[in-house]
Chains A and B, each alone.
Chain A
């Protein structure tokens, strides 16, 4: 996000300058001043984002392992060895694919729920304001706290859900599919409010005349949604999909609290694998390579979305 903002600032300036006559003062204003103004932000971004990314990239090409690597810098360059290991390791290979599959499912569910709630809140009815505030609540709850609450809800013995459904001691976390369903519920529950509120703002910018005209032409609710509302919100939807993708692909807290990737690492996603390798076992090289894999996956998806947006435009 900060990077794109910086670019748009520097990109705007030349178009303004084109109309001005040239002079020393002008050329300072046009050429140097923008650079000077952007420099502090660039320095901060380079320090806080650029350096860690480059450092992680470098570590991913080394065999850094254990405390000695941290204290004495004991490591050797091994090229793409860690990446080959990820490709060869059945667990890590599966985790990479599972991260994409689970992430996309969460994004899809978040968008569907978000659109539905936004459409609901866009109607006029009593208690709409109260509902709008309630909808925001899950978003305001810290991930870890929310995950613990859901863990109790889904507890096999004392969980309110098994009690309500009359499932005696059903163990949600014993099978990877039901465990992922639970994790997905928590992730979507926490991420849909942002999407819903952003879309609600978007829906309210659609002029009433457009909808009225469609209604006069005999368009039903679904047709209004698919032909008018959503197409008009496409740029906003795209941004929300990109943000959701980044959030849902790197989900950690919910998985860590609910299952820690168990049973048998089948519920592991990349963020948890990175923690397990780099932090828990101090396999710093391999953990860095996993982090780069997640980074690359996210870049690929983001580029894909942007390309899609350009195609459509």
Chain B
């Protein structure tokens, strides 16, 4: 009995080893294999769509086998890091546009040239260019705008706010005129609403001058942005738990008819209408109100497709990437996940003329930009320092001046 078991053990071990060796030597059957990583937003339909694209591509290219592997978004950074450290990289990967520069600077990605004659949305396209070299195909993205309740606005007799001052005034009027609803909620862990406020005052998160980066929160503009955020919080419109809230909490509150305005993306509005369809004829959208410097810019958050430097099939990987970002595929996919394709034409095809969602397209094309396109940005996000300082500000642990100085110290620490 014992020897039989031992034999079985040896045998299975040998088989496993054989399989591993066979795996290493794969791809010798004349055809080409392409391994692609796609980030998984937790929606099973997305997998079906992407698998369909892979099959269509295989049908067009004889002898090509595309293997799509899905990586959860929360694991994206770790998976890419591990793959790179272990030298086991796919040929092509989707990568969040805040991470592209980090991996590009580490030498992970190959230079690619997006197809000519296509106008890409700048906010997304600029975030794949490091030191003048482009490392990604702009795939899809989204931008946040103002989502508001038309019925509450009518009741309070207010118009859509065009500036930050308007926003405060409209909020005050709603607080005065309408019971049982908060004008607007802010959230400590909603970094993509909070940190872009600095663009509204004419500042920047960090400014590049040649080789050097200088953090920008500890400046008059940076402090003015923090001051505005603090004002929104100190109005008392947000429950005290807002310190710990994130974008989903803000959205849930809006869907539960507890707030009259929120800053959110098209995907937020879809989720809101899904959970509370009765809001369909009572919501409106508008561009993000302009800050004192006149800018309405918000964060252009999305994805690139990047080819790995170590890929055995770089040309094929580029072809598949171009296939995915082609209008037909990109528009279908972006719409499915509530985002917008990365081309101006694609955005217009997707939401142009739409009363509700058209605004998100305009916001994305005209008024969005990227976070600092630099390898160190990943460490800033990883440190959680910026949302942390916003939370401390809300708790009264720090003053605006201290928060500004702390944020800059954290950014400087990451720059090195």
Binding site for B on A (CB under 8 A): 66-68, 70-71, 155-158, 169-171, 173-174, 259-265, 276, 279-283
What is the 8 Å Cβ interface bit string for chain B, positions 89-106, against chain A (1 contact, 0 not)? 000000000000011011
Q: A156-B239, A263-B392 are in contact. Are A70 and B85 (CB under 8 A)?
A: yes
- Shortest 3 CB-CB distances between A and B: which pairs? A156-B241, A280-B382, A67-B106
A276 touches B383 (CB 8 A): yes
Q: A71-B84, A281-B382 are in contact. Are A174 and B240 (CB under 8 A)?
A: yes
Cβ-neighbour of A262 out of B84, B375, B378, B384 (below 8 A): B384
Alpha-carbon separation in the docked complex, A260 to B397 (Å) = 18
What is the 8 Å Cβ interface bit string for chain B, positions 284-310, against chain A (1 contact, 0 not)? 000000000000000000000000000
**In the complex, B108 has a CB within 8 A of chain A:** yes
The B contact surface, by secondary structure, is helix
CB distance from B229 to the nearest CB of A (A): 15
A173 touches B241 (CB 8 A): yes
Q: Provide the residues of chain B in CB contact with A66, threshold 8 Å.
A: 106, 375, 379
Alpha-carbon separation in the docked complex, A259 to B188 (Å) = 12
Alpha-carbon separation in the docked complex, A264 to B252 (Å) = 24
A264 touches B397 (CB 8 A): yes
Q: List 21 A-B contacts (CB under 8 A).
A: A66-B375, A67-B81, A67-B102, A67-B375, A70-B85, A71-B106, A157-B239, A157-B253, A169-B239, A171-B239, A171-B243, A173-B241, A174-B244, A261-B384, A262-B189, A263-B391, A264-B391, A265-B384, A276-B383, A281-B379, A283-B379
Cβ-neighbour of A157 out of B84, B241, B381, B414 (below 8 A): B241
Q: A263-B392, A264-B395 are in contact. Are A71 and B243 (CB under 8 A)?
A: no
Q: Provide the residues of chain B in CB contact with A71, threshold 8 Å.
A: 84-85, 106-108
Q: Provide the residues of chain B in CB contact with A70, threshold 8 Å.
A: 81, 84-85
Alpha-carbon separation in the docked complex, A158 to B244 (Å) = 14
**In the complex, B5 has a CB within 8 A of chain A:** no
Alpha-carbon separation in the docked complex, A259 to B249 (Å) = 14
Q: A157-B253, A280-B383 are in contact. Are A68 and B240 (CB under 8 A)?
A: no
Q: Provide the residues of chain A in CB contact with B243, threshold 8 Å.
A: 171, 173-174, 263
**In the complex, B388 has a CB within 8 A of chain A:** yes
CB distance from B197 to the nearest CB of A (A): 20
Alpha-carbon separation in the docked complex, A158 to B256 (Å) = 11
Q: Provide the residues of chain B in CB contact with A155, threshold 8 Å.
A: 241
B244 touches A263 (CB 8 A): yes
Alpha-carbon separation in the docked complex, A265 to B379 (Å) = 16
Alpha-carbon separation in the docked complex, A262 to B390 (Å) = 11
Alpha-carbon separation in the docked complex, A5 to B258 (Å) = 59
Alpha-carbon separation in the docked complex, A158 to B249 (Å) = 10
Q: Provide the residues of chain B in CB contact with A280, threshold 8 Å.
A: 77, 381-384
Q: Provide the residues of chain B in CB contact with A260, threshold 8 Å.
A: 384
Cβ-neighbour of B241 out of A174, A259, A261, A276 (below 8 A): A174
CB distance from A150 to the nearest CB of B (A): 14
CB distance from A298 to the nearest CB of B (A): 24
Q: Which residue of A lies closest to B241 (CB)?
A: A156
Alpha-carbon separation in the docked complex, A262 to B29 (Å) = 53
Alpha-carbon separation in the docked complex, A71 to B86 (Å) = 8
Q: Provide the residues of chain B in CB contact with A282, threshold 8 Å.
A: 81, 378-379, 382
CB distance from B232 to the nearest CB of A (A): 17
Alpha-carbon separation in the docked complex, A194 to B387 (Å) = 38
Cβ-neighbour of B108 out of A67, A156, A170 (below 8 A): A67
